[in-house]
Structure 1
């Protein structure tokens, strides 16, 4: 089973409806973990900090909902590094989960990513202990305090082709207080809004912020003036450690006919993508 974007970490910074993405109720988290067991879902686990990754699966969730057991890596060296990190956690753990505690024993050691019914599931594991399950090495960990769910239809709309330049110009206030226009890459687009990649250095954005005088630039079309409202912010960390913010923005004002222009662009890209896929069959 392929695990899409398995080595990319996604952290929710803020959203209008945080509960839509982030679960904190222990019973709900335990229920989803048990669904993953029933679905025989594979997880991609990455040691944090570091780049060690391995494929694992949840073997069981304790009846009291306090802990879970996952398969250990087949690589004993990775298992040793996991236990070393569990015993001596370093700073630089998850901003989202670790900011709530100053106890070093509670630092996230493993980032786990999987899919359930085409929904991305992500959580961090703490307090790992080496154990065994049916004669094989395994890890026992505390139940995740939070679990991130990202619906594909909500988080991945039409992904902008990397072969085409699709940008949006935003007026961003920098740390010196000066507002400057920035041409930022559009990650995905729909008739209702866009998701934009924002470098951390330009990240003076907050959920709910209204961005005036923006310009959406589609290939083959004149720039479309737009007003954007920031609805959610995610921090994306790629496998090689590069960080960016994904700002999900809603169109709150556009000129007449702009939505039709966007829909035509989306249909054109989808037709070209489908034609390429048919040619590869």
Structure 2
């Protein structure tokens, strides 16, 4: 099986510090979530080796540090799953997205039927939709984040960073390759973003991750994932209002209205 969209968009949450606060690492908590999947008979999409190839399965049992998955009926999928170095499992319960990696699986017999077994994952991501939905900055208008940067001597200067995407939890911005230090855990206060026809928000930003990306034109840039710190309800409401507005306009264009 293959999916039309790019699965990398689904996997990036486990690979980025942007959502570190939503990662469970305690084995007891992880097992509790997995047992809930069993009780609710939740369907799990397992991507094979981080590719577009996936299979549908369910969690059968969690015991003694092991997790059992239902074996897919398709024999070719069975072979690919058994030979996989890793599976990325994604499911949802009560509008909460659940995602966890499995470092390889083996074939066993369970209640007289073939099944897949793996070690309990060492991390598991739980995200409510409002926490992980990110709006890509519209082409029709650019978003700019004005970041006050303290000077070594004298008043701070303002750096204008292009916003790549925005959510209620934070923003992704393009940062300069040199001149200004952007590194994880750095905080910038009184940052401003003007949301067209909505209002201007002011917030403190904390850098969660910085990495280099290359766009389709071969141009390389640095991307910083930032989280909002102590965001007020008023500002969060403005961001939500802006996202809904842009999504409604985008939907109307797609329908030809």
Residues in 2 aligned to 1:172 and 1:122: alpha-carbon distance in whole angstroms: 36
Tell me the SS of whatever aligns to 1:11. helix
1:186 aligned onto 2:165: yes
Q: Aligned runs of 1:1-281 on 2, under 5 Å?
A: 7=7, 8-9=10-11, 10-11=13-14, 13-14=16-17, 18=20, 20-62=21-63, 64=64, 66-86=65-85, 109-156=86-133, 159=135, 162=138, 164-165=140-141, 167-169=143-145, 181-188=160-167, 190=168, 194-196=170-172, 204-207=182-185, 209-211=186-188, 214-220=191-197, 224=200, 226=202, 228-230=204-206, 232-233=208-209, 246-250=225-229, 265=242, 268-269=245-246
Give the drift of 1:137. 3.4
Alignment check: 8 A CA contact 2:84 2:104 kept? no
Give the drift of 1:52. 1.7
Tell me the SS of whatever aligns to 2:32. helix
Relative distance call for 1:134 and 1:143 in structure 2 (3 A) is same
Give the drift of 1:67. 0.3
Relative distance call for 1:128 and 1:268 in structure 2 (3 A) is closer
Alignment check: 8 A CA contact 2:99 2:124 kept? yes
Count of aligned pairs between the two proteins: 226
Relative distance call for 1:149 and 1:197 in structure 2 (3 A) is farther
Give the drift of 1:124. 1.0
Greater shift, 74-83 or 122-131, is seen at 74-83
Tell me the SS of whatever aligns to 1:51. coil
Residues in 2 aligned to 1:172 and 1:131: alpha-carbon distance in whole angstroms: 58
Residues in 1 aligned to 2:240 and 2:98: alpha-carbon distance in whole angstroms: 30
* Aligned alpha-carbon RMSD (Å): 4.4
Deviations 1:160-191 (A, max 9, x none): 67565352335699xxxxx9743122232x4x
Relative distance call for 1:205 and 1:226 in structure 2 (3 A) is farther
Give the drift of 1:116. 1.6
- RCO higher in 1 or 2 (8 Å CA, sep ≥ 6)? 1
Q: Which runs of 5+ in 1 are unaligned?
A: 87-108, 174-178, 238-242
Residues in 1 aligned to 2:161 and 2:139: alpha-carbon distance in whole angstroms: 20
Normalising by the residue count of structure 2, what TM-score does the alignment of the two structures yield?
A: 0.66
Alignment check: 8 A CA contact 1:169 1:184 kept? yes
Q: Which runs of 5+ in 2 are unaligned?
A: 150-157, 214-221
